[in-house]
Amino acid sequence: MNPPPQNPGAGSHGRPRSASPNARPQRNRPGRFYGGRGRSAHPPRQRRTRVEHQAPSGRPRPAGATPPPIGPETVRVIPLGGVEEIGRNMTAVEIGNDIFILDAGFQFREEETPGIDYILPNTGYLEERRDKIRGLLISHGHLDHIGGIPYVIDRIGNPTIYTRRLTGMMIKKRQEEFAQTTPVQIREVEKDEHIKLGDHTVRFFGVTHTVPDSMGIIIETAWGDVVFTGDIKLNHDNGQPSEEEVREFGVFKSRNVLLLLMDSTNVWQPGFSIPEKNVYTTLENIIKDATGRLIIAMFASHLERLIRVIAFAEKYGKKIVIDGRSMRTNIEIARELGLVKYKDDTVVPVESMGEYPPERMVILATGAQGDEFASLARIGNKSHKHIRLQPTDTVVLSSSVIPGNERAVQKLKDNLSRQGAHIITYHASDVHASGHGNREEAVWIHKQVKPKFFVPVHGYHYMLRVHSHLAMELGVPKNHVVVPDNGSIIEIVKGEKISTLPMKAPSELRVVEGHTVSELSDVLMRDRKALGQEGFCVVVATVDRRTGRLHKSPDIISRGFVYLRDNKELMDQTRLIIRKSVEGSMRNPRAVDLDAARDDLAESVSRFLLQRTMKRPIVIPVIVSV
């Protein structure tokens, strides 16, 4: 995943926030506090995870919003995730009585979703039609394409997974981390292979990406092929595609392609992407010339690059330390499959690193995105148990910065620099190349495939829109191109006309929080942001149930809201507001509505604090009768 910068989300402040722990449903107001603690970035899993599913919210769909059954002679395509963001890629292709699912990834949380671990595609449409699902077809082993499997596989009826061997091993290994999930059924396939699923034939072809065994998928229909590229770039030499690329895409010379679904991530970038071989050359030279210890940080899923780094280190007589659980796991899988070969003493434990001269050490580390629990961040903040930076160390950040991680990466670089390390980034040297092709690579692929209809996938809306214009420039008629949203129901009828239905498949965000999968609540997110930005106050009023008057001075507890703690006058005035609100609500103690009294107390305190401080802390009212 190497996305360009995204547009920041807009936000606004509404009315003063208030909260009541025992609020009545009919009085629910935006910004109410419902409990639950926000969490910082989640640590690596230490044990097997149990997945619990919460029932959907039960909110009725708008009238006429239920998707109708698919009609005859129709190909229906529904992007369920990955077309309004980078991540959680999943697309359903429905033809007659068969549904094929393309990928099942997750998306890492964003600033707009505090406390969330992952964001999933919404599988509601598939859950209602699970008897029609003929298979889950996985293009490659990156988490934005396989990460959602443990969370959604049971919901959609545990269909057989069809993928290549490495990807299958990565799925199995990840599944072992989850307790009480149904064992997955994986059927290994190879490029150039074809299989019969339901009433249709599915074929596979090899594509270039940053992980081995990446593949594209072809679903044959009576009106032509539906072609899905997955994540893709070209292996090229100065803009000339390699013989292998020409051979793989030569299959389309004799095929009739009805619809192309293609990666759009970097189509907005002009020219060709940097070939991965350029990165290999740069990294080899850095490893060869290093006069001190070398730390190379990258995504654990950049397996091709990891394999090359290990080979270069061994070639120049250096030892490797692999510091990062996911990275170790992926390299172990690659070694088991024969994708990487090295002597047993080439890779050494981190505890044994001190036995070798610094110039003979290469450390492969996770955490190039500034992840606070990853290896490199712990090295940077001096909390790593075994690794302390030296002024002679060189740190290579072999990845671009994912949007939203800029501050974390800057902090990481600052921490490393303070310890004297020399840092090399992709801005200064070819130490990273995207796994997604640029504009001219997309042009070449379109010319090979020659689709009748086109739907761009994988990327933010801007990226999809740029890709759609490119397809039209290459000869696809404007009325043969659809730019989708998540949940869009796109239909091609009799192979002649493409359209989008007025209703959508369920597309509300589904999220993973700890062990629980549930639909995202706007109110919950709003309250979490308020807690992080404004803090909260708990006001406790103890009331004499006989007289309705306060039994003692109200208690005020605040966290993340400094104004009360530091200002005695404001504290005293707030207590007066509490007394006035509570005693006004309880003039008749025998007929008091405690829920209404709590709401009024929260509103009164919130309004007062906003007027005096221009801040909107969440107010949690507690009224105790004695």
> Which residues form the catalytic set?
263, 436
The rounded distance, in Å, linking the Cα atoms of 283 and 413 is 19
Residue 240, helix vs strand vs coil: strand
Which DSSP symbol is given to 2?
-
Which DSSP symbol is given to 354?
G
The rounded distance, in Å, linking the Cα atoms of 444 and 410 is 37
| 73 CB-contact burial (10 Å; exposed 0-12 / middle 13-18 / buried 19+) | middle
The residue type found at 30 is P
Residue with tokens 């659809």: 482
Residue 131, helix vs strand vs coil: helix
Q: Are 494 and 223 in contact (CB under 8 A)?
A: yes
The residue type found at 200 is H
The rounded distance, in Å, linking the Cα atoms of 491 and 77 is 6
- Give the helix, strand, coil percentages of the chain, each rounded to 5: 30, 25, 45
Residue with tokens 């793989």: 248
Q: Are 513 and 115 in contact (CB under 8 A)?
A: yes
Helix (H) or strand (E) holding 499: strand 497-504
Q: Record the tokens describing residue 542, joined without a space.
A: 């103890």
The rounded distance, in Å, linking the Cα atoms of 617 and 534 is 5
Q: Are 582 and 601 in contact (CB under 8 A)?
A: yes
Name the residue among 504, 495, 470 with its Cα closest to residue 259: 495
Q: Are 139 and 228 in contact (CB under 8 A)?
A: yes
Residue with tokens 């009331």: 543
Residue with tokens 């929260």: 602
Q: Are 283 and 296 in contact (CB under 8 A)?
A: yes
